[in-house]
Amino acid sequence: MDEWDEETTPTSSISIGVTEGGTWNADRGENRRGGGGRGRGRGGGFRNSFTSGGDENANGGDSWNNTGGERGGFRGRGGRGRARGFGGEDRSEFDGDNSNNGVRENGFRGRGRGGERGGRGGGFRQGGDQGGRGGFGGGYRGRDEEIFPRGGDKDTEKKDGGDGDRPRITYVPPTLPEDEDSIFSHYESGINFDKYDDILVDVSGTNPPQAIMTFEEAALCETLSKNVSKSGYVKPTPVQKHGISIISAGRDLMACAQTGSGKTAAFLLPILQQLMVDGVAASQFSEIQEPEVVIVAPTRELINQIFLEARKFAHGTCVRPVVVYGGVSTGYQIREISRGCNLLCGTPGRLLDVIGRGKVGLSKVRYLVLDEADRMLDMGFEPDMRRLVTSPGMPSKENRQTLMFSATYPEDIQKMAADFLKSDYLFLAVGVVGGACSDVEQILKQVTRFSKREQLLDLVKTTGSERTMVFVETKRQADFIAAFLCQEEVPTTSIHGDREQREREMALADFRSGRCPILVATSVAARGLDIPDVQHVVNFDLPNNIDDYVHRIGRTGRCGNTGRAVSFYDPDADSQLARSLVAILSQAQQEVPSWLEESAFRSHGTTGFSNARKTFASTDSRKGQHSGSFQDDAVKNQPAAQTAADDEEWE
């Protein structure tokens, strides 16, 4: 079976728990729920899960690898774990992350798996009325979250090739609502929307076209124009003013503009407009679909969001957008494509998959868009992008328009990106390349590794029901922190690359709706996600890459709204970021704590920020200067793919 033949679910820590735990693995609902005394609600469930770390720790791991009586054993250990987990041994859960021996590790394991298992059950959210279902196992989502066994139920089936127990993905996302209210639902632009007009814009390259000042000047066709109004757009943002005219003039573009400033519409509108002018219409009658547009983005949720935007703007036209991404039934996606496809959105792996299956022809591609282009082209993912542009039928760069967008553009990536563009491409920089959105208040808090959890709790307790994204570095940590907050009665959900797609989409839906106002996330949610009313971002763990910091805090303060980002700075772990942080904060006119300046000084032995900040100019790397990336050398030298933590599934 070739690698594209059928996708399998990523090995999920949550799912491991589900499978191994037996009770959770049962096919019948009553087994899942019954289980008998696996924890009743918040307190009990959580405590149970952590018991394995107690004096049973010699068996703690084993219990998960067995069934039947061992499960009972696990349940029987309930009640003591909490003391280890969150009470007495405050450090152990973190130590366990790195350690391979000793009591702490077992304790952590007990917690970790329990916690991950907990992610399914709902013990924390639904409290005592969940009865046996909860345990910590179910953790933090709640009673409505379905349990999907790893094999044999309606939702999964074994692979044909007999490839072990790995199930075929058969998840099909819910049908999208067709009513206009849903399609055009949007949040209001904020008080600072007009300030966008004050941002300096630099377009470099030969003969840039004149920017448009209004949507009327874009001369969009009637349906498109109405859709723009229904979306609540009154006037274009700077990246739209310039981007729309550049793309409409047929030029290749590398565009850099701050997070939340409307880059998606900047490429969608002129592309759709051109398709309309050309009278493009999807045909259901050809077996191979030949889209005119291919849009690629690095994560599933982001590409789905771009698809929804495309669907919104194309509403009532003959242009049919389709989306493909990992974690969803390939068969379903291929059927969607075969119903007609002009504009294909995809994550790279799944895109290459459907192309490789011969279901999509590329010879008609006129627009190739790479959103989050720096991430798409960084060191880890460059080969996939090269594979895409050299796929059979894909027009050469001379014969297509290639468009790249991001809020960050390290210089080395800019240079590589140029390989994908015509030599006369335009470089559009709105504001400072790689700069943070100035509508986000940035607060740095110096913490120790072991005080983070309490600080987080204090913080979320003061923010009440305001929507908050909490970024952590690892998937395990995401589950752990989500479970911890749930135990503290803060309704929380989580998103990371080990959660199944159904769970990821549910988590986002719960966060969007406010049902779970706290979303704990890894970097998988750092880029592009546009979720209304996210007032806060917390960097529980700072990323090891300043560009990721910029993207993460950009989940708030979008479209002229204000937001707040609180970052926990652990001097033992984060000093390599100090200088870049000082630069980012200063550029965004934020207060720079003196301890951070000192830390930056200590880690580099110089106060030479002004030198380093020469790189602040909005710069096209062709100008022969440093680009506007803020990365200091220490960070820059890290392979970008590694800096993405462990979380980008890339398909």
Ligand X SMILES: Nc1ncnc2c1ncn2[C@@H]1O[C@H](COP(=O)(O)OP(=O)(O)OP(=O)(O)O)[C@@H](O)[C@H]1O
407: contact with ligand X by CB under 6 A? yes
Q: Choose, by CB under 6 A, the member of 264, 304, 544, 556 that binds ligand X.
A: 264
Query: From the CB of 302, what's the least distance to ligand X, in Å?
Result: 7
Q: How far apart are CA 461 and CA 580, in angstroms?
A: 30
Q: Which of 123, 262, 291, 491 binds ligand X (CB under 6 A)?
A: 262
What residues between 213 and 232 interact with ligand X by CB under 6 A?
232
N-terminal to C-terminal alpha carbon distance within the chain? 18
What single DSSP character describes residue 87? I
With H, G, I as helix, E, B as strand and everything else as coil, classify residue 434: coil
Chain-centroid distance, C-alpha 441: 21
Stretch that binds ligand X, among 52-60, 146-154, 253-261, 270-278 (CB under 6 A): 253-261
Nearest approach, Cβ of 532 to ligand X (angstroms)? 7
φ/ψ of 341, rounded to 5, equals -150, 115
Per-residue binder mask for ligand X (CB under 6 A), 265-284, x = binder: x-------------------
Judge whether 241 and 213 are in contact, CB under 8 Å. Answer: yes
User: Considering beta carbons, is residue 149 or 431 the nearer one to ligand X?
Assistant: 431
Amino acid at 475: K
Look at residues 231, 233, 240 and name the one whose alpha carbon lies nearest to residue 271: 240
> What angle separates helix 69-76 from helix 57-65, to the nearest 10 degrees?
140
**Spatial CA neighbour of 451 closest among 576, 603, 569, 600:** 569
Nearer residue to ligand X within complex by CB, 123 or 236: 236
What part of residues 304-363 is at the interface with ligand X (CB under 6 A)? none
Number of residues that bind ligand X (CB under 6 A): 21
Q: CA-CA distances (angstroms) from residue 524 to 114, 512, 543, 635, 641?
A: 23, 17, 12, 20, 13
In terms of CB distance, is 115 or 528 closer to ligand X?
528
> What token pair was written down for 634?
């220490």
Of the candidate spans 258-266, 357-365, 459-467, 613-621, the one that interacts with ligand X by CB under 6 A turns out to be 258-266
- d(CA 309, CA 2) in angstroms, rounded, equals 33
SS3 286: coil
Q: Are 256 and 429 in contact (CB under 8 A)?
A: yes
Nearest distance, CB of residue 599 and ligand X, angstroms: 28
Q: How far is the CB of 459 from ligand X (least distance, A)?
A: 23
Residues numbered 159 to 188 that lie near ligand X (CB under 6 A) are 186
Count of C-beta atoms within a 10 Å radius of residue 364: 15
**Cβ 236 to ligand X, closest distance in Å?**
5
Tell me the chain's radius of gyration from C-alpha atoms: 25
Residue nearest to ligand X (CB): 262
The nearest distance, CB 25 to ligand X, in angstroms, is 39
* Binders in 586-605 for ligand X, by CB under 6 A: none
Closest to 75 in 3D by CA, of 129, 20, 119, 35: 35
Q: How far is the CB of 149 from ligand X (least distance, A)?
A: 36
In angstroms, give the least distance from the CB of 390 to ligand X: 27
Report the residue number, 7 or 547, with the smaller CB distance to ligand X.
Answer: 547
From 37-45, 120-128, 154-162, 263-271, span contacting ligand X (CB under 6 A): 263-271
Bridging pattern class, strands 467-471 and 518-521: parallel
Q: State the Cα–Cα distance between residues 223 and 240, nearest whole angstrom.
A: 19
Q: Based on CB atoms, which residue is closest to ligand X, 50 or 233?
A: 233
Residue number with CB closer to ligand X (371 or 574): 371
Residue number with CB closer to ligand X (92 or 556): 556
The nearest distance, CB 93 to ligand X, in angstroms, is 32
Nearer to ligand X, 550 or 596 (CB): 550
Block residue for tokens 């934020």? 590
Under rule CB under 6 A, residue 261 binds ligand X: yes
Residues whose CB falls within 8 Å of the CB of residue 494, separated by 6 or more in sequence, listed in order: 119, 140, 478, 479, 481, 482, 507, 519, 520, 521
Among 50, 233, 484, 630, binds ligand X (CB under 6 A): 233
Q: Is 112 in the site for ligand X (CB under 6 A)?
A: no
For ligand X, which is the closer residue by CB, 472 or 559? Answer: 559
Q: What angle is formed at CA 269 by the lines to CA 267 and CA 275, rounded to 5 degrees?
A: 105
Among 48, 49, 63, 259, binds ligand X (CB under 6 A): 259
For the bound state, the minimum distance from the C-beta of residue 16 to ligand X, rounded and expressed in Å, comes to 33
**What's the min distance (Å) between Cβ of 148 and ligand X?**
31
What residues numbered 488-547 form the site for ligand X, per CB under 6 A?
528, 530
Return d(Cα 130, Cα 112) in angstroms, integer.
Answer: 21
The β-bridge relationship of strands 401-406 and 253-256 is: parallel
> CA of 260: how far to CAs of 184, 264, 532, 539, 552, in Å?
18, 9, 11, 18, 11
Stretch that binds ligand X, among 72-80, 260-268, 491-499, 631-639 (CB under 6 A): 260-268
Q: What string marks each residue from 545 to 574 as x (binds ligand X by CB under 6 A) or -?
A: ---------x---xx---------------
Looking up tokens 């859960």 gives 93
Shortest spacing between CB 262 and ligand X, in angstroms: 3
Q: CA 411, CA 335: separation in Å to the nearest integer?
A: 41
Among 85, 149, 260, 431, binds ligand X (CB under 6 A): 260
Smallest gap, in angstroms, from Cβ of residue 530 to ligand X?
Answer: 4
Interface with ligand X by CB under 6 A: which range of 70-78, 261-269, 514-522, 616-624?
261-269
40 is a site residue for ligand X (CB under 6 A)? no
Sole window of 246-254, 262-270, 335-343, 413-421 interacting with ligand X (rule: CB under 6 A) = 262-270
Bridge partner residues of 539 (DSSP): 471, 567
Q: Which residue, 530 or 632, is less far from ligand X as judged by CB?
A: 530
Task: Report d(CA 177, CA 5) in Å as an integer.
Answer: 30
The binding track of 434-473 with respect to ligand X, each residue x by CB under 6 A or -, is ----------------------------------------
Q: Extract the tokens encoding 617.
A: 């100019």
Among residues 158 and 186, whose Cβ is nearest to ligand X?
186
Is 236 one of the binding residues for ligand X (CB under 6 A)?
yes
Tokens found for residue 412:
């080395």
**Residue 246 CA, distance from chain mean position:** 28
Would you state the structure tokens that stand for residue 179, as one six-digit string? 């009513």
CA-based angle 545:550:553, to the nearest 5? Answer: 120
Closest to 253 measured CA to CA, from 239, 243, 238: 243
Q: Least distance to ligand X from the beta carbon of 263, Å?
A: 4
**Minimal distance, residue 70 CB to ligand X, in Å:** 46
Residues that bind ligand X (CB under 6 A): 186, 189, 232-233, 236-237, 240, 257, 259-265, 407, 528, 530, 554, 558-559
